[in-house]
Amino acid sequence: MKKLLLLIFILTLIIVGCAQEPASQPSEEEPAVEAEVEEEEEPAEESSFPERPIEFVASYAPGGGHDTLMRTMLKIIQDEGISDASINVVNKPGGSGAVGMAYVNGHAGDGHYLMAATSSLITTPLTSDVGLTFRDLTPIARLGIDPELLLVNAESDYETLDDLINAGKVLNIGGTSTGGIEHIAAIKLQIIAGVDINYIPYQGDGEVVAALMGNQIDMVFTNPNSAIDYIKSGDFRPIAITTEERVDLMPDIPTFKELGYDIVVNIYRGVMAPGGVSDEVVAYYTNMIEELVATEEWQKDYIERNLIVEGYLPGEEFGEYLEEVYLLYEETLTELGLIK
Amino acid sequence: MEALDNLSIGFVEVMTFYNIMIIFMGSIFGTIVGALPGLGPSAGIALLLPLTFGMPVTTALCLLVGSYMGTMYGGRITAILINTPGDAPAIMTCQDGYPMMTQGKGGLALGISAISSFVGGAFGLIILVFGAPIISKISINFGPPEYFMLMILGLSTITLLAGDKMLKAALMTFFGFAIGIVGSDYVSGYVRFNYHPELIEGIDFVAIIIGLYGIGEVLFNIEKLIHLDLGKPSFKIREFIPSLKELKQITMPTLRGSVIGTMIGILPGAGGTIATFLAYTSEKKASKTPKRFGNGAIEGLAAPEAANNASVPGALIPLITLGIPGSGGTAILLGALIMYGLRPGPLLMVESGTIVWTMIAGLILANVILLISNIMLIPIFINIIKLVQKYLSPIVASLCLLGAYSLNYGMFNIWVVMIFGVIGYGMKKFKYPAGPLILSVVLAPLTENYFRQSLMLAQGKFSIFLLRPISLGILIVILVIAVLSIVNNYRNKAKKRVMAN
Amino acid sequence: MKNAERIFILAIMIFSFAVIFEGSIIPVFSQHTIGPGFLPVVVGGALAVTCSALLIFSYIKQDTEQDKKKFISKEGQSRLLIFIVILMGALLLNGILGLIIPLTIFMILSYKMIENYTWWNSIKVAVVSNMIFYYIFKVWLGVPLPGINF
Average pLDDT, chain A: 79
Spatial distance between the Cα atoms of B394 and A271, rounded to a whole number of angstroms: 44
With cut-offs at 50, 70 and 90, classify the pLDDT of residue A224. Answer: confident
Asked if the Cβ–Cβ distance from A20 to C140 is below 8 Å, we say yes
- State the amino acid at position B269 in one-letter form: G
**Chain B from 269 to 298: CB within 8 A of any C CB:** none
Instruction: Say whether both A136 and A277 belong to one domain.
Output: yes
Spatial distance between the Cα atoms of C21 and B203, rounded to a whole number of angstroms: 19
B70 close to B114: Cβ distance less than 8 angstroms = no
Asked if the Cβ–Cβ distance from C39 to B448 is below 8 Å, we say yes
Spatial distance between the Cα atoms of B364 and B130, rounded to a whole number of angstroms: 14
Extract long-range pairs of B16-19: CB within 8 Å, 24+ residues apart: B18/B59, B19/B58, B19/B59, B19/B62, B19/B362
Instruction: Say whether both A165 and A113 belong to one domain.
Output: no
Give the residue numbers spanning the domain of B123. Answer: 2-500
What's the number of domains chain A is made of?
2
Report the side by side order of strands in the sheet with A197-201.
A197-201, A171-175, A219-222, A149-153, A236-241
Cα–Cα distances (Å) from B225 to A203, B81, B400, in that order, read: 48, 18, 19
A318 close to A138: Cβ distance less than 8 angstroms = no
List of chain A residues whose C-beta atoms are within 8 Å of the C-beta of residue B32: 13
- What φ, ψ does residue B191 adopt, rounded to 5°? -105, 125
pLDDT, residue B417, reads 94
Cα–Cα distances (Å) from C1 to B175, B222, C4, C8, in that order, read: 21, 18, 5, 11
List of chain A residues whose C-beta atoms are within 8 Å of the C-beta of residue C139: 17, 21
pLDDT of A331 above 90: no
Asked if the Cβ–Cβ distance from A23 to C135 is below 8 Å, we say no
Range name among B319-328, B361-370, B413-422 with the lowest pLDDT average: B319-328
List of chain C residues whose C-beta atoms are within 8 Å of the C-beta of residue B402: 99, 103, 133, 137, 143, 145
B458 close to A200: Cβ distance less than 8 angstroms = no
In 3D space, the residue among B403, B94, B84, B382 whose CA is nearest the CA of residue B218 turns out to be B84
Spatial distance between the Cα atoms of B250 and B116, rounded to a whole number of angstroms: 8
Spatial distance between the Cα atoms of B228 and A36, rounded to a whole number of angstroms: 61
Instruction: Say whether both A136 and A160 belong to one domain.
Output: no
**Minimum Cα–Cα distance from B460: chain C residue:** C32
Range name among A90-99, A121-130, B461-470, C119-128 with the lowest pLDDT average: A90-99
List of chain A residues whose C-beta atoms are within 8 Å of the C-beta of residue B189: 95-96, 98, 124, 127-128, 130, 177-179
- Positive or negative: CA dihedral B467, B469, B475, B481: positive
Instruction: Say whether both A218 and A70 belong to one domain.
Output: no
**Minimum Cα–Cα distance from B46: chain C residue:** C141
Spatial distance between the Cα atoms of B275 and B267, rounded to a whole number of angstroms: 10
**Maximal CA-CA distance, chain B:** 77
What SS3 state is found at B203?
Answer: coil
Residue A311: give its domain's CATH number. 3.40.190.150
DSSP readout, C19-82?
Answer: HHHHHHTS-SEETTEE-TTHHHHHHHHHHHHHHHHHHHHHHHSPP-HHHHS-S--HHHHHHHHH
Instruction: Say whether both A135 and A272 belong to one domain.
Output: yes
Cα–Cα distances (Å) from B477 to A204, B156, B165, B315, in that order, read: 31, 11, 22, 24
Range name among A311-320, B98-107, B319-328 with the lowest pLDDT average: B319-328
Spatial distance between the Cα atoms of B266 and B324, rounded to a whole number of angstroms: 11
Spatial distance between the Cα atoms of B374 and B368, rounded to a whole number of angstroms: 10
Strand partners, A89: A56
What's the number of domains chain B is made of?
1
pTM score, two decimals? 0.82
- Express each pLDDT in B284-317 by its tens digit: 888 888 888 888 889 999 999 999 999 888 888 8
- Express each pLDDT in B311-324 by its tens digit: 888 888 888 887 77
B186 close to B306: Cβ distance less than 8 angstroms = no
List the domain boundaries for chain C. 2-68, 74-140
B84 close to B214: Cβ distance less than 8 angstroms = yes
Average pLDDT, chain B: 85
In a domain, A236, yes or no: yes
CA distance C69 to chain B (A): 11
A89 close to A321: Cβ distance less than 8 angstroms = no
Strand partners, A314: A141
DSSP readout, B117-145?
Answer: HHHHHHHHHHHHHHHHHHHHHHHTT--HH
Give the residue numbers spanning the domain of A59. Answer: 51-145+267-335
In a domain, A247, yes or no: no
- Express each pLDDT in C98-139 by its tens digit: 889 999 999 999 998 888 889 999 999 999 999 999 988 888
A272 close to A137: Cβ distance less than 8 angstroms = yes
In a domain, A30, yes or no: no
pLDDT, residue A95, reads 65
**For the residues A270-299, what does the mean pLDDT come to?**
90
With cut-offs at 50, 70 and 90, classify the pLDDT of residue A272. Answer: very high
- Express each pLDDT in A243-258 by its tens digit: 878 887 788 899 999 9
Asked if the Cβ–Cβ distance from C140 to A198 is below 8 Å, we say no
List of chain A residues whose C-beta atoms are within 8 Å of the C-beta of residue B49: 88-89
pLDDT, residue B205, reads 87
Asked if the Cβ–Cβ distance from C144 to A52 is below 8 Å, we say yes
**Chain C from 22 to 41: CB within 8 A of any A CB:** 32
**For the residues B197-226, what does the mean pLDDT come to?**
86
> If you count them, how many residues does chain C have?
150
pLDDT of B426 above 50: yes
pLDDT, residue B1, reads 64
Question: What's the gap between Cα A12 and its chain centre?
Answer: 39
pLDDT, residue A167, reads 86
Range name among A30-34, A44-48, A58-62, A130-134 with the lowest pLDDT average: A30-34
pLDDT of A134 above 50: yes
Indicate the pairing of strand B183-184 with strand B191-192. Answer: antiparallel
The number of helices, as runs of H, and strands, as runs of E, in chain C is 7, 2
pLDDT, residue A31, reads 39
Which chains have 3+ CB pairs within 8 A of C? A, B
